[in-house]
Amino acid sequence: MKHFFKLSIFTFIIAQSSFAQKYDVNLISKDSKINFAKTQKRGIKSNNVIYYVEKDLQTISAYKKNKLKWQTNVISVCGKPSVGVPEIRYVGFSTNKLLVIIGKHDFVEVDITNGKTKLVGSD
């Protein structure tokens, strides 16, 4: 039984690490905003934390020292945008939040300390 338990934990750790998605350092912008219509960049670095939009264009992950700090799927939290494709189009860094545009005109705020996500409006 002990061996089964150890093997189960080992398998869980291996599975978790193989599914963990890391960011591409070449896609980190030196700017404080990313407009996906104008660049292939997918991340912003601030205070040794990288805020990275994952390949699905719906999820933002915060990495500190190459470890996942938090992750949020803005489409799941906020719902499909009223107009446009349900994906992130823009991310801008503010003092304590990320300002995100999904679809054509839906505005989202993400708290940089914990990933708390909220839809703040649309035009």
The CATH fold assigned to 24-122 is Thrombin, subunit H (2.40.10)
Tokens representing residue 30 in the block: 């030196």
Spatial CA neighbour of 98 closest among 25, 27, 45, 37: 45
pTM to 2 decimal places: 0.81
- The β-bridge partners of 32 are none
Tens-binned pLDDT, residue by residue, of the chain (123 aa) = 444 434 333 333 333 333 455 788 999 998 999 999 999 999 999 999 999 999 999 999 999 998 999 999 999 999 999 899 999 999 999 989 999 999 999 999 999 999 999 999 988
pLDDT at 14: 37
Pick the closest to residue 57 from 90, 94, 24 (CA basis): 90
Give every strand in the sheet of 33-35, ordered side by side.
33-35, 88-93, 97-102, 106-111, 117-122
Q: For residue 6, how many C-alpha atoms fall within 13 Å in the half-sphere facing its CB?
A: 3
pLDDT computed for residue 12 by the predictor: 36
Q: What ranges do the domains of the chain cover?
A: 24-122
